[in-house]
Amino acid sequence: MSYNSFGHLFRFTTWGESHGPAIGAVVDGCPPGLALNEADIQPFLDARRPGQSKFTTQRQEPDQVRILSGVFEGKTTGTPISLMIDNVDQRSKDYSEVAQAYRPGHADYAYDAKYGFRDYRGGGRSSARETASRVAAGAVARLVIPEVTILAWVSAIGGDAIDMAHFDAAEIGRNPFFCPDAAAAARWEKLVDEARLAGSSLGAVVECVATGVPAGWGAPLYAKLDAELAHAMMGINAVKGVEIGDGFAAASLTGEGNADPMRPGGEGEGPEFLANHAGGIAGGISTGQPVVVRVAFKPTSSILTPMPTVTREGEATELRTKGRHDPCVGIRGVPVVEAMMALVLADQKLLHRGQCG
Amino acid sequence: MSYNSFGHLFRFTTWGESHGPAIGAVVDGCPPGLALNEADIQPFLDARRPGQSKFTTQRQEPDQVRILSGVFEGKTTGTPISLMIDNVDQRSKDYSEVAQAYRPGHADYAYDAKYGFRDYRGGGRSSARETASRVAAGAVARLVIPEVTILAWVSAIGGDAIDMAHFDAAEIGRNPFFCPDAAAAARWEKLVDEARLAGSSLGAVVECVATGVPAGWGAPLYAKLDAELAHAMMGINAVKGVEIGDGFAAASLTGEGNADPMRPGGEGEGPEFLANHAGGIAGGISTGQPVVVRVAFKPTSSILTPMPTVTREGEATELRTKGRHDPCVGIRGVPVVEAMMALVLADQKLLHRGQCG
Amino acid sequence: MSYNSFGHLFRFTTWGESHGPAIGAVVDGCPPGLALNEADIQPFLDARRPGQSKFTTQRQEPDQVRILSGVFEGKTTGTPISLMIDNVDQRSKDYSEVAQAYRPGHADYAYDAKYGFRDYRGGGRSSARETASRVAAGAVARLVIPEVTILAWVSAIGGDAIDMAHFDAAEIGRNPFFCPDAAAAARWEKLVDEARLAGSSLGAVVECVATGVPAGWGAPLYAKLDAELAHAMMGINAVKGVEIGDGFAAASLTGEGNADPMRPGGEGEGPEFLANHAGGIAGGISTGQPVVVRVAFKPTSSILTPMPTVTREGEATELRTKGRHDPCVGIRGVPVVEAMMALVLADQKLLHRGQCG
Amino acid sequence: MSYNSFGHLFRFTTWGESHGPAIGAVVDGCPPGLALNEADIQPFLDARRPGQSKFTTQRQEPDQVRILSGVFEGKTTGTPISLMIDNVDQRSKDYSEVAQAYRPGHADYAYDAKYGFRDYRGGGRSSARETASRVAAGAVARLVIPEVTILAWVSAIGGDAIDMAHFDAAEIGRNPFFCPDAAAAARWEKLVDEARLAGSSLGAVVECVATGVPAGWGAPLYAKLDAELAHAMMGINAVKGVEIGDGFAAASLTGEGNADPMRPGGEGEGPEFLANHAGGIAGGISTGQPVVVRVAFKPTSSILTPMPTVTREGEATELRTKGRHDPCVGIRGVPVVEAMMALVLADQKLLHRGQCG
């Protein structure tokens, strides 16, 4: 039992609070001999980094990662890889209000109820800032699974979904929304800006696909690939739903409508599937098809509209969120979802190799 | 890492295949001194038991549980509780077809790809029969959390949803669908029977609510209550989606629309929440509100319509499912979802007590 | 955290009490495709079985193992292997004395202090009977490491040690003491019989050597091969000490006296070591030399001499052990030590393969 | 499975190599609300710190610990506590010899065999330097168990043992050997200095006693308090043996000679034990008596006498250790043994509270 660790053989532990001196991750169980330096990690942190457009929080964090152990002469040694990211922009603001009253929708009350006490500065441990550690660890995980390509994008914001007929992977990097549909990106620009100016916030859906996962990763019954993915994704801040393949839509289908028939594949290959309702996983084990996950992010609870709440002493009050916040926290969730996908797959690859050699 | 175990302090391990002599679970970490005998477990197994109506598989299994250890003079001793259920109705049918060809949508191909080999009789380890072990373990878990009431029901079949305005908990036990809406139950009778007669199958959504969970259970960041629930639920056979609280609907909301404001609660109580979009969990920790989970079950892939598939040797063939099957496997998922909820909550209670005393 | 599980990838969970209906083990993570049936396990149980000579307890247990899952058509499937052994000879004796008073040296008081309650019949869960489950699981573990040969023997009883100059492996199976020195076996016959007739008991030392372990198994720093072995051995009933290689004797040596120099080995082999003070492990990782472990068993606390003790109510009383007991419990420890060696090595092999491929 | 983590509920993960920029530990699961700052940790690091007398390595490390997370307003928050210690004195020496040839008795060959590769500077991850992380984590663990007093000392060096009749706890801090017997300390001064001047090394035995441990900590069967202690101690660098209570001496006793009879204790107390051969543990659970552990440290393998060995290419060569080394590494093992005792007990306290409440 580790409250702040994830994974089995490829396992990482994160630490750090929003307003402490630094955050970090310790990656344990990484195979030896992989070429690794900070430049392998930094681009993923840069993608997640706040303050890059007006559509994300204006907190300025360079998020420069340092590797403190586990690498020698440019290669992983098989020993723990300690990754550290300094916190730079902990703006010295007045937290007395948040210290005294519970922000609705945030973890303030729950933390106090659990620990009798909390680091209220910027959300403390429950801050989305912790996800930088996941992204750094995820970059290491990617090195373990070079056969896999992971791609995530935002598929809907505030209920406005992309049109898959217009899907263009190249578009994802061209707009501040990780949006693969140029027309949707244009609409979202207006939508998110309105929310931002109104001090409101919007929910979003992120979709992630991993191609190149061979058949056979995952394990019955309590280390199922889909169960591990659900755990990984639901543990991301602000996530309220996870789907594999068709997800909830499958609950409305018939067996015929949900079928994934097969036919012989190419020479030396597994079967070719004629559909992928299952999202690449059957019985908790990968089938060789693309692994498809969809994740629902709620709108951040940090809004300007005053909301009734209570103080630590249980008295009624009102609170409106000042400070810097993401109008749509799902947008910056894209690199985090990708990282968690990589972390789960790297772990499952090693587990499979361990048991089935 | 245990492939077939679940939980941390309250932990269970299941074993057994569909057509072996028996299935079972070992519950480890149960607190001592709890009154327990087979009669505390049997009703939950009876609720899950197949063959009770024409809407579930006709396999006849008495599912009588035996307690082989961990109980002395009617009380738990704190040592492992071994639960065993004999398999009775392993119909001696001809499995040569399934042995040779992969049933589309089933785990057949994935198991072969992983293990090079599989017990093809009735799905082997990937059979929904394994969930009887979870239900038995879940009945023990309930004893650990007497303060909690767990209730699950089917909220939609084949896309036809109940009307929450007609919700009547008493109705759930009165129809073969665990349906709380009498009108919906009447519609489903026709719907499921048609699917059954057509040799087709239907997906379903199961909703589960736990009331009485105190604030403070769960833990940041990789043992979050919602992440643990997502893991537990996504690991159930045929499940493709999990939501907490508003789930995917929250992704379409604004921050104002998704807010859960608070006001002072009664004397000596925590705050009263004015909404529960969050489903009783914030920052991975319970808030004292009802914990709400929604689970999507796909239609079972066992259908009479022949489907293209491949043989173990990679040649094209067709397969239609003979044998006995659930036309809507989500229905019997209700007691399983309840069990997994109990298992997660019992574990989290002990973890919280361990860390926070 | 599993109180009753051991291992990481090759992991087993045991259950059962001395006087319950059965005991058993669930082996999880066993690689698929290994030939396994009851006959592979039974000989090891037979070696441990009580009642075979006057030098062990007279409880008669056939210890017939049944495989309830995880094997199909004679091969392991990769799913959990459930092993069960019925308890047959639970003599219906009067336990009222033991129920009321704590046997000195036994776990009676400690269990009551922990759980407020205990199954006092035959020691309940703390009975050496549980070790039959380990021996059964260990027999499965041996199949995972065919390259390794494990041999254990009693090297001293009551302070009377064998002469290694007379070591003859073939002798081990020829006497009831697992003694490799015929002269020592003859002395022990008299020694143990005297203790038995006097209602006394004797301690013993068991030594175990695993040959064929390749260099590279084990892991820094908290999954070290020697640390795992120490955990495994110290967890056996009545064990009070564990040594690797020279063990405590090394604490009296100089660096020169303790050195294990190397010279080039044969073609395609690792180095040849000129000594093995280290017991085949350096830095927690195997070196390719024989892995050597020594284990100290205390004399069983079940003796006829009355001893002062207290009742559950805290009042002074005296207790002498009636019932059937091993005059030297270390003797039957030999198959258990071998089993734990196999279980640790199987697990470390899979872990190494998982991380280092 | 975490290769570099230890503990279950109170769990720590260490990282770092001898010659990297820093080493550290992440403590996860620490209860909230405990007063903690660097000054609570530093004294234990100072006790372990090298270079304080001529009897330990002359490497100069200030070993200043920094707390990077998990503490707010001077109290633990329940979230991970990240501890970091900079490496300062990584002398820039020529490692080409060690890079090419395997030092006998060190982990060099084993690491290469496992990982195909190693950080050879100062032993890399297998350096005793890593134990500073354990000592830091152990200082936090002590805060969790204020009811327990832990005391360790060196009881023998090079086979020269203290006389327990002269035991004086106050003496331990007065000499550079953690020796409680002034006469022995005087003898050791000569003994260790001779070894140092000869470029040789000596083994040692460390004994550790924890008083105040209540009855009931520990758990059957694979989380036994003694098994956990054995794991913890055998995992310390250079340790080759572990005993609980009488340890190997018990193997030479009779049941009468090894008996720990009881009589009624004081009002409201548990029984009073008339002996403590068991070392405070029965059936893996604490009895309320002092917990007694003895640990054998081998002489460090770093000696001036040239030893035959092989190169990475498998060719014969000779190696003598240059550089700075402890003539008796067991001496500085004392604070490490104390730390591991604290870490095991803190974990077991939380586990007991979790399960038995």
* Paired residues of B294 in beta bridges: B207, B243
Residue A324 confidence (pLDDT): 66
Q: Taking the CA atoms of B46, B52, B53 and B57 in sequence, report the sign of the dihedral they define.
A: positive
Q: How many CB atoms within 10 Å of residue D228?
A: 28
Q: What does the H/E/C string look like for chain A?
A: CCCCEECCCCEEEEEECCCCCEEEEEEECCCCCCECCHHHHHHHHHHHCCCCCCCCCCCCCCCCEEECCCEECCEECCCCEEEEEECCCCCCCCCHHHHHECCCCCCHHHHHHHHCCCCCHHHHHHCHHHHHHHHHHHHHHHHHCCCCEEEEEEEEECCEECCHHHCCHHHHHHCCCCCCCHHHHHHHHHHHHHHHHCCCCECEEEEEEEECCCCCCEECCCECHHHHHHHHHHCCCCEEEEEECCHHHHHHCECCCCCCCEECCCCCCCCEECCCCCCCEECCEECCCCEEEEEEECCCCCCCCCEEEEECCCCEEEECCCCCCCCCCCCCHHHHHHHHHHHHHHHHHHHHHHHHC
DSSP state, residue B58: -
Q: Which of A33, A66, A117 has the CB atom closest to D117's CB atom?
A: A33
Cβ distance B215 to A114 under 8 Å? Answer: yes
Token digits of residue D234: 């055998």
Tens-digit pLDDT profile for residues C183-195: 999 999 999 999 9
Cβ distance A264 to A324 under 8 Å? Answer: no
Q: Which stretches of chain A sit within 8 Å of chain D by CB?
A: 1-5, 8-9, 11, 13-17, 20-24, 26, 28-29, 32-33, 66, 68-70, 72, 75, 77-82, 114-119, 124-125
CA distance A278 to A287: 9
Query: Is the model's pTM score more than 0.95?
Result: yes
Q: Answer whether residue B271 is part of any domain.
A: no
Q: Answer whether residue C250 is part of any domain.
A: no
CA-to-CA dists, residue B327 to B107, B331, D20, angstroms: 18, 9, 61
- Closest among C137, C167, C130 to C19, alpha carbons compared: C130
Contacts of B3 in chain C (CB under 8 A): 28-29, 80
Residue stretches of the annotated binding site of D: 48, 54, 125-127, 237-238, 283, 298-302, 324
CA of D207, closest CA in chain A: separation in Å? 30
* Yes or no, beta carbons of B109 and A215 under 8 Å apart: yes
Q: Which residue in C has a C-alpha nearest to residue B118's C-alpha?
A: C77
Asked if residue C90 has pLDDT above 90, the reply is no
The whole domain housing C43 covers: 5-245+280-356
Contacts of B9 in chain D (CB under 8 A): 9, 351, 354-355
Tens-digit pLDDT profile for residues B3-62: 999 999 999 999 999 999 999 999 999 999 999 999 999 999 999 887 778 877 777 788
Cβ distance A214 to A286 under 8 Å? Answer: yes
Contacts of B145 in chain D (CB under 8 A): none
Cβ distance A175 to A169 under 8 Å? Answer: no
* Yes or no, beta carbons of D246 and C298 under 8 Å apart: yes
Chains with 3 or more CB pairs under 8 A to chain D: A, B, C
Q: How many residue pairs from chains A and B have C-beta atoms closer than 8 A? A: 408
Residue C91 confidence (pLDDT): 66
Which SS3 state, helix, strand or coil, does residue B139 take?
helix
> How many structural domains compose chain C?
1
Tens-digit pLDDT profile for residues B90-122: 765 678 888 899 999 999 999 999 999 899 988
Q: What does the H/E/C string look like for A296-354?
A: EECCCCCCCCCEEEEECCCCEEEECCCCCCCCCCCCCHHHHHHHHHHHHHHHHHHHHHH
Residue C95 confidence (pLDDT): 82
Residue B205 confidence (pLDDT): 98
Confidence of residue D229 (pLDDT cuts 50, 70, 90): very high
CA of D25, closest CA in chain A: separation in Å? 9
- Closest among B158, C117, A8, A123 to D3, alpha carbons compared: A8
Q: Answer whether residue A31 is part of any domain.
A: yes
- Closest among A276, A206, A278 to A237, alpha carbons compared: A206
User: Which whole number is the average pLDDT over D298-324?
Assistant: 90
Q: Which of A79, A353, A356 has the CB atom closest to C220's CB atom?
A: A79
CA distance C284 to D201: 21
Confidence of residue D74 (pLDDT cuts 50, 70, 90): very high
Q: Which of D2, D3, D17 has the CB atom closest to A69's CB atom?
A: D17
Angle between helices D131-144 and D333-356 (to 10 degrees): 40
Average pLDDT, chain D: 94
Q: Taking the CA atoms of B52, B56, B61 and B63 in sequence, report the sign of the dihedral they define.
A: negative
* Yes or no, beta carbons of B79 and C4 under 8 Å apart: yes
Asked if residue D60 has pLDDT above 90, the reply is no
CA of D164, closest CA in chain B: separation in Å? 38
CA of A353, closest CA in chain C: separation in Å? 5
Residue D53 confidence (pLDDT): 80
Residue D197 confidence (pLDDT): 93
Q: How many CB atoms within 10 Å of residue C324?
A: 17
Cβ distance C116 to B32 under 8 Å? Answer: yes
Residue C322 confidence (pLDDT): 72
Q: Answer whether residue A253 is part of any domain.
A: no
The number of CA neighbours under 13 Å toward the Cβ of D146 is: 5
Average pLDDT, chain C: 94
Confidence of residue D2 (pLDDT cuts 50, 70, 90): confident
Residue C294 confidence (pLDDT): 98
Contacts of B104 in chain A (CB under 8 A): 259-262
Q: Answer whether residue C18 is part of any domain.
A: yes
The number of CA neighbours under 13 Å toward the Cβ of B119 is: 24
* Yes or no, beta carbons of C353 and A353 under 8 Å apart: yes
* Yes or no, beta carbons of C354 and A350 under 8 Å apart: yes
The number of CA neighbours under 13 Å toward the Cβ of B78 is: 28
Cβ distance D31 to B355 under 8 Å? Answer: yes
Q: Answer whether residue C99 is part of any domain.
A: yes
Contacts of D32 in chain A (CB under 8 A): 114-117
Would you write out chain A's pLDDT as a tens digit for each of its 357 residues?
Answer: 679 999 999 999 999 999 999 999 999 999 999 999 999 999 999 998 877 788 777 777 889 999 999 999 999 999 999 999 999 877 656 788 888 999 999 999 999 999 998 999 888 999 999 999 999 999 999 999 999 999 999 999 999 999 999 999 999 999 999 999 999 999 999 999 999 999 999 999 999 999 999 999 998 899 999 999 999 999 999 999 999 999 999 999 999 999 999 999 988 888 999 999 999 999 999 999 999 999 999 999 989 999 999 999 999 999 987 766 789 999 999 999 999 999 999 999 999 999 999
Complete edge-to-edge strand list for the sheet that includes strand C11-16: C5-6, C11-16, C22-28, C81-86, C65-67
Confidence of residue B199 (pLDDT cuts 50, 70, 90): very high
Cβ distance A117 to D77 under 8 Å? Answer: yes
Q: Which of B13, B72, B79 has the CB atom closest to C26's CB atom?
A: B13
Looking at chain B, the number of H-run helices and the number of E-run strands are 7, 18
Residue B324 confidence (pLDDT): 66
Residue B192 confidence (pLDDT): 96
* Yes or no, beta carbons of B241 and A240 under 8 Å apart: no
Cβ distance A8 to A223 under 8 Å? Answer: yes
Residue stretches of the annotated binding site of D for NADP(+): 48, 54
Asked if residue C323 has pLDDT above 80, the reply is no
ipTM score of complex: 0.97
Contacts of D69 in chain A (CB under 8 A): 15-17, 20, 22-23, 125
- Closest among A164, A184, A226 to A331, alpha carbons compared: A184
H or E segment to which residue B204 belongs: strand B204-211
Q: Taking the CA atoms of C329, C332, C334 and C340 in sequence, report the sign of the dihedral they define.
A: negative
Chains with 3 or more CB pairs under 8 A to chain C: A, B, D
**Would you call B299 exposed, middle or buried from its count of C-beta atoms within 10 A (0-12, 13-18, 19+)?**
buried
Cβ distance A57 to A324 under 8 Å? Answer: yes
CA distance D20 to D122: 10
CA angle A254, A256, A262 (to 5 degrees): 140
Contacts of C57 in chain D (CB under 8 A): none
CA of A247, closest CA in chain B: separation in Å? 5
The number of CA neighbours under 13 Å toward the Cβ of D175 is: 23
Q: How many residue pairs from chains A and D have C-beta atoms closer than 8 A? A: 157
Chains with 3 or more CB pairs under 8 A to chain B: A, C, D
Residue C120's CATH number: 3.60.150.10
Q: Which residue in D has a C-alpha nearest to residue B76's C-alpha?
A: D356
H or E segment to which residue D6 belongs: strand D5-6
Q: Answer whether residue D193 is part of any domain.
A: yes
A127 is in an annotated binding site: yes
Angle between helices B333-356 and B38-48 (to 10 degrees): 140
Cβ distance C25 to C134 under 8 Å? Answer: yes
Q: Answer whether residue B338 is part of any domain.
A: yes
User: Which whole number is the average pLDDT over D176-199?
Assistant: 96
Q: Which stretches of chain D sit within 8 Å of chain A by CB?
A: 1-5, 8-9, 11, 13-17, 20-24, 26, 28-29, 32-33, 66, 68-70, 72, 75, 77-82, 114-119, 124-125
Contacts of A24 in chain D (CB under 8 A): 68, 82
